Structure formats: C-alpha cells, structure tokens
Structure 1
C-alpha cells in the first residue's frame, strides 16, 4: 500500500482574512438599509474587559436603543468600509492572500426582512464589493447571515423562533445565489450557528419577553434556522453545480477538568450539544443525544411535516472559528455558566485562553467525526496596540499567537486532516463583535479610530502585516 503523506500545506491552500459587514461597513442608514440587530449593540466602557458581551434583550430594550441618540453604538459607523473598501482591499491584496471572507448585511438586501422584492441599491453595493475582491485576485468566501438580521423580524415576528422567518431567509438566499452565480463559489450560510448562549440575541433575534421559555425558544429558533439552511443548500445546488456550501461552528468544545468519571461524562454530554449543529447540517439528522437532552430539560421542538427530509440536504464543508479553550466539570455543568478558565494556559486581556495545541486537537476531532474539508474561518487575538512616535506598530504578540496556531494547523494537516483554508480574524482593525469596541484590535492593518468613532481613519501597516505576507508567500513554510 502506498503512503501519500502531505508534508506541508497544499499548493492550492486558501490563505485569507475574515471580517463581517456589521463590524466594518458603517453607513448604517445609507443605501436603503434597514435596522439590523448589530445597530443596537452598545459599547459600555464601565464593564470589565472579560465581561463585555452582548446580552439578551427585550422589545423595550430594542425600542429604547432605536431612539437613543446619546449612547455609543460603534457598529453604526464601523471603519467606514462601505466607502473605503476599494482602498482597503488593495492593502489586503498586498498581503498576498488569495481569498477574503466577508458577509452580506441582510438588512441591506431586505431592510425589513419580509419584503417581496430585494433592495436593488443594497445589491449594487455588493456587486461592486464582490467584483473588487475578485479583481484583487481573491476568492470571495461570503457569509449570508452574520449577526445582521433585520430588526423588524424581531419586533413584528419573534426572530428565528417564528417559522415564517424560514421562508424570508430562503428568499434572501435565493436572491444571492442567483445574483452571484459564477462569482461566489464558497458560501457560509450562518456564522457560528452553535452560539445560542453567547451572542444569542444577535444570532437568533429572539426578544426574551416575546416567548414563555427562552431556552426552548432558542432551540426552536436554531431548528428553524437549520431547516432554512438545508432549503437554501438545496436551492444553491440547483442554481450552480460548482457551489460549495459550508456550515460553521464557533469552537466551544471543552476539556474535562479532571479524569474523575463524573467530570468526563458531564463534559462529554456538554460537548455533544456543541456538535449537534454539525451533526444535523453535515450528517443530515438529529442524533439521539439531542432528544435525550430535550427530554431532560422539558424542551419541546416542533418539526414541520417535511423538516426531516429537508435536513438531508447537507453542507459540503465545515468552517470553524477558533479563539480559546475552557474546561468543564460535573458541578459547573449543572449551572448556566458551564465552563471556566483552564489554569494551565495563559489568557488574553479579554480572558480568552490561548491554546494553539487545542486547535490541532479540535481539527482532528472534527475531521474524525465528519470527514469533510475544514476551513478555519476565524482565528486571532484581540489586543491593545500602541502606535509609536514614528507611527510604527510593533505587535510581536500577534505574530507569536498566529505563528503558534499555524504551526499546529500544519501538524493537523500532517495528521491527515483535510484543512483547505485559513482566515485570520480582522486582517484590518474592525469593531469587536462581542464587546462593540475598537480598542480590541485583531488586524494586520491599524485603523486610526477609537471606541467613540473619533480619529483620522488612517490605515497603517503593523509589523504583523509584513510577517503574514512573508508567511503566505512561503505557503506556510516560513513561520
């Protein structure tokens, strides 16, 4: 038997960078765009760094935020990518990357979410953006839903909890697949679909006062969302035989805190419910452990008559965002906060445990389970960057972080894992997703804006820019 062992990254490996529309575009009232969930994410400076997360909201909270002219909502202005994308993409091209991931803001295409026809002005903006990505030699990887649900779908309906939203979303997907056939080959339908605890309002758009049982509503909502994903996948293949559809995890697979059998079992059961979304969207049906979980927690999920059949339209690849790892024991598993910090690893300023070896471990776990190509759609470290008097930015900490993680990806490839792409998060500084602040920076390119939108907006290349450029040129050999 011959052994075909890959010694490094494949020649056609996708080296890129990733952003989201709601974190970079700004122009929140331009081009016919409607209100989206990200437009009401407020920056709160008085909250500790590791506690800055978007919270559950009520309809009262939403309406107050929509009327608020005094609060700080940084995603409303972003980095003005809506107007600067041509210049920014030229800088990104200078990295030598061959792909770029961004999202389409749902509320630019269907401002209220339930219109019969799309907003042509919004589509024309993405026509230009996608054409510019391609013109700069980059393969577009487009996310269809990345925390940009039209707020009307929360207020008039109940977000993804309302089954009507399935058809609204599928219509939106159909418009995109028809419009960008032949231009966009790689799609992620929903960003980090397993996030129903953190970022759950941003993800599902369910106001807690509109449902009786919020946990049940979240699982019903994500069920409806997965049905919509499967319907969209089926349609995409009818339109374009060369399309590649991905489902995406935010990696939250935890380690058992000890080898105590109770801790191992509790952690395993917790991790099963993280795998759930991949088991449905990549394997095509609900697993038995999910029904046990629903029964144990008195959760009732309503299936449509054709849902089981529809869910057989599975995705082609899995995408994953990887930032940190945490641990779980039997006691923590009983609580709402089921995981906690690993004492054996260091953390970022925002409390995210830095674990490069964990990335290799997780890639092997996902590969063993699904045997499908894997794209690392996000990876990076949020940090405070200092601009020196001469304008330079020495971010060795970012280089060290990325270098260590890429090294472990290479090891995973040697293990036989079919990793086909790597997209560092925020190759240009953007507004933080979880904390809505600018000071939590990820980029190779510095953007002169602060948490309050003040600054020149000037773009400056950091030391990491030149390191990543050299690494990409060597196809991952020179770390």
Structure 2
C-alpha cells in the first residue's frame, strides 16, 4: 500500500440530483419533468416500480441529510434545481414561490453546515409540458425559455451559490431516446438527436452570456460551466482502422460537447460528417458566434468506466437510419475487471488519461470530477452486527480512482476536486434503487431511514486527514 496526499484546497464532496431525491411532495400536477412523464407512461420498466414519486424524500428530509453531509465533512454538495418545479408558468418564467423557498432553505442549510452548494439548472428535468409541446431541446424556443428560467434562478440565489452549471450529462436523454430508442417514447431519429446536442451546446453558451451580463463572477466570485460525461475511449489495437474507430466515437459523443464548451467551436470534420449523413442541425452563423464568444469557466466531468471500440467487422445496413456505429463496433476486452451489478468495466486509469487530455488538448482549463462511483445490488448482504454496510468494494473503487486522479494533479493537470456519486442511495433511470451508490444508505423497508455505510466513515477520515492509502501499482506486476 502507498500513502496518497490530497491537496489542501482540493474539493472532496458528493452529488445527487433533484429528480432522483426530492420526491413529489408539494409538486403541482402540471409540474412534471421529462423523467416524471416517462415514469408515468412506462412505469413497468422501473425496477420494482420505484421512481421519482417518492425517491429519497429529500424535499422533506433535507435537514437530516445535510446533517449527515456535515458529519461526513463534505466540502461541497452538487445537485440540481428542478426546472419543471421552479416555475408555474414556463413561457413567462413565473416562479413557484413554494418550491423556490424550499431551494432557499436548502442553500441556507448547506452554508450553515459548512457545505458549499453547487447547482445544475437541468439534470434531465426539462419540463414535460415543453417536451410534449415543443419536442424539448429540439426547439430553439425552449432555449429562450431556459434562459428566462436561469435569469430568475440567478437573481434569487446568485448571491449565495458560487458554482453554476447548465446541464448534467447533456448527451444522455436524447441518446437513449432518439439514437438508441431504448427509453420512452422510443423514437429513433438521429437528426433529432443531433439537434438536441447542438441546442444544448448553444444553451450552455447562452447561459454563460447571461452569467456575464449578471456579473456574478465580479460580484460574488462565482463560476459557470457544464457537467459532461465523456467516455474515455480506447481502440482495440494500434492498427490504423481501430484507431480511426475510436477517433470517430470520440468525435460524435465526446468532442460534440467538449469542444464548443471549452474551445468555442465544434470540430470542423463533424459538420462534414453531419452533412454526409443528413443529420445537420438547424443552426446559424450568429449562433456559432455566440458559442465562440461564451466558453465556460470550468467543466465537471462524470467518469465511471472506459469505452472500448474496434473497426467494424461487418458492413453497415443502409436500410436503417444512420447511427455513429456506422464507424465502429464495441470491443469487449478479455479479462477486464468488472462491476457485475452495473455491467461496467472498472479501469481507474481513465482518471489519469482524461486528466492528461484536458491538460494537453483543452488548454488545461479548470475542471473537476463531478461524478464517479460504484453501484452494487443487494448491499444489505454486507451489514455487520451493528447494521453498518461494509462496502469495502466502494472504498477500494474510490481510492483507486482518486489515486490516479491525484497522480495527474501532481503532473500538472488542473483538476480541483472529486465529487462522489452519490451522497445517498437514490433513484436511477429504470434501475431505480436496484444498484446502490451512496455513502448514506436508504432503507426502503423502514420509512426510508438513513444510516452511514463504512465508506462514509472512511470518506470522513480522508477528508479530515487529507490522506488515504491505495494499492501500489508497482506491486505484482
């Protein structure tokens, strides 16, 4: 084992989202988000029927949860403001004072307990009304409504919240719905997928412009960014055809968001490919100029697993709509270490490799890990006699990923923090409470009672000591 030191000002926190924790207490009937709509229309695919209706009941129990954050010693807590609940009139941005007061209280409670709040303005919570009426992020009008909403949020909380983000994982919803068609309403439409991608990149730039207009950096020392989920992509081999497959995957799924947010422009080749496959989104030179002039202050990156690809071994079926898989196939690495519950490969070096990429390709912009964690099924199996879940697997997962991340920091990567997913067990799309990610356990059988897992006590110790033990990579090679 080796000792790993955590820099003095390095954030060590945890994250959840509004829709995955709050529940529907106080929600008006018309205030559904896209996720609420999906749950209502397709409840049978959600594990054991659990979904956003009750979630962890954070809306009513936030004081209890924040007391646990204080006990653990989290420096930061990231969540979202639920756009669908923050307003009662989306067209005119009329604030729901009841929900807004709840957010006020959460922010004040966090600050009073020494925890820095961080908020996304959309974590899959696009209002259902806008999804049904305008097609959600397919519409430029929805961008305008988003900025109206953001202005109300900034005006109300900008004096206390110093970390703002447009989206969490802006590629996810449309990829599941319109590209892969595996989530409600199951519409395969690659052009619509790309329009959502483009419009969210534009919305991020528009939010940055609003942030500048409000002078939140000058007045309060605040920063604005976006939280992305690039999949660190590895080719099967060094052969040119496999390397090209990895490059194409990276361009469609990673650079489509990294480049406009940080560099202020989309890859030129991406537009050529979009024209070739007839998926070019509606756009204008004026919009591209807005993107160019309004890059983010920093980015959060959600990293869980590597993505491995190889060149196609079979011809593409031209009778089906274009999909980026036209250029690659997934590759299963023999002998890889797996999280069998989530079906994800465990490869902690993704932290180092992505950090070096941020340093070398993206100007060493400030960034942090916004999510990283391990979901495990049936964790109650690991309770000891005192009823504490002995999640040593999570401790190992965190320590190995954090070790590689801090190794990159030592080599000059401008990474300023690590946020664990998640603070508590919470609802995930479809999987609901099947896989548990939290430092804090949620007991569904006993009024959603909370308790700290072994990992929470370990996390508390490393935050206080600014040091932890990890495996020595030089051993057993």
Fold agreement, TM-score > 0.5: yes
Change (3 A) 1:41 1:426: farther
8 Å contact 1:23–1:431 — kept in the other structure? yes
Q: Which string of whole-angstrom CA distances, capped at 9 and with x for unpartnered residues, describes residues 68-126 of structure 1?
A: 9xx92521110100000001110111111111101111111125633442222221110
For 1:15 and 1:89, the matched residues in 2 are separated by 15
Partners of 2:394 and 2:44 in 1: CA distance: 39
Query: 1:456 maps to which residue?
Result: 447
Distance in 2 between the 1:136 and 1:475 partners? Answer: 20
Is 1:252 the counterpart of 2:252? The answer is no
Aligned to 2:312: 331
Q: Is the 8 A contact 1:360 1:408 kept in 2?
A: yes
Report what 2:319 is aligned to: none
Mapped contact 1:317–1:374 kept (Cα < 8 A)? yes
Counterpart-to-counterpart distance in 1, 2:78 and 2:248? 33
Indicate which of 365, 369, 381 corresponds to 1:372. 365
Q: Summarize the Cα distance change of 1:329–1:143 in structure 2 as closer, same or farther, 3 Å threshold.
A: same
Matches within 5 A, 1:137-176: 137-176=114-153
Is structure 2 residue 163 aligned with structure 1 residue 190? Answer: no
Query: Cα 1:303–1:437, aligned 2, differ >3 Å: closer, same or farther?
Result: same
Match of 1:127 among 104, 127, 151: 104
Partner residue of 1:442?
A: 437
Given that 2:50 and 2:427 are in contact with CA atoms closer than 8 Å, whether structure 1 keeps it comes out as no
Q: Which of residues 181, 199, 204 is equivalent to 1:224?
A: 199
CA-to-aligned-CA distance 1:35-82 (integer Å, 9 cap, x gap): 11111444xxxxxxxxxxxxxxxxxxx7x45999xx925211101000
SS in 2 for 1:179: helix
Q: Alignment length, in residue pairs?
A: 444
Cα pair 2:302 2:372 within 8 Å, conserved? yes
Return the structure number with greater strand share: 2
How far residue 32 of structure 1 moved from its aligned partner, in angstroms, is: 7.2
- Could you tell me whether the CA contact under 8 Å between 1:112 and 1:153 is conserved in 2? no
Given the alignment, which residue of 461, 464, 476 partners 1:473? 464
Aligned CA RMSD, in angstroms, stands at 2.7
Question: How far is the alpha carbon of 1:338 from its aligned partner?
Answer: 4.1
In structure 2, what is the equivalent of residue 87 of structure 1?
Answer: 64
| Contact 2:232–2:305 (8 Å) recurs in 1 | no
Q: Aligned match of 2:399 in 389, 403, 407?
A: 403
Q: Distance in 1 between matches of 2:241 and 2:125?
A: 40
Q: Verify the 8 A CA contact 2:303 2:350 in the aligned structure 1.
A: no
Tell me the equivalent position of 2:422. 426
Q: CA deviation at 1:295?
A: 2.1
2:282 to 302, 305, 311: 302
CA shift digits 1:371-415 (9 cap, x unpaired)? 201110000000121234541211111111011111111101111
| Cα deviation, residue 129, structure 1 | 0.8
Indicate how the Cα distance of structure 1 residues 112 and 352 shifts in structure 2: closer, same or farther if over 3 A, else same.
farther
Structure 1 position 383 matched with structure 2 position 341: no
Q: Counterpart of 1:289?
A: 269
Q: Deviations over 1:265-320 (max 9, x none)?
A: 11112112211211111111222121122123222222145202211201011110
Give distance in 1, aligned partners of 2:302 and 2:44: 34
Deviates more, 1:104-113 or 1:351-360: 104-113
Counterparts in 2 of 1:366 and 1:339: CA distance versus 1, 3 Å:
farther
Match of 1:392, SS state, is coil
- In the alignment, is residue 38 of structure 1 matched against residue 19 of structure 2? no
Mean alpha-carbon deviation: is it higher for 243-252 or for 414-423? 243-252
The more displaced of 12-21 and 337-346 is 337-346
8 Å CA contact retained: 2:124, 2:173: no
Secondary structure at the residue paired with 1:152?
Answer: helix
Equivalences for 1:55-134 in 2 at 5 Å?
64-65=41-42, 72-111=49-88, 113-134=90-111
Deviation of the 1:147 alpha carbon: 0.8
Distance 1:131 1:338 in 2: 49
Partner of 1:342: 333
Q: From the superposition, tell whether residues 283 and 112 of structure 1 become closer, same or farther in structure 2 (CA, over 3 Å).
A: same
Report if the CA contact (8 A) 1:33-1:109 is conserved: no
Q: Which runs of 5+ in 2 are unaligned?
A: 314-323, 471-477
Change (3 A) 1:340 1:21: farther
| Aligned mates of 1:267, 1:247 — CA distance in 2 | 24
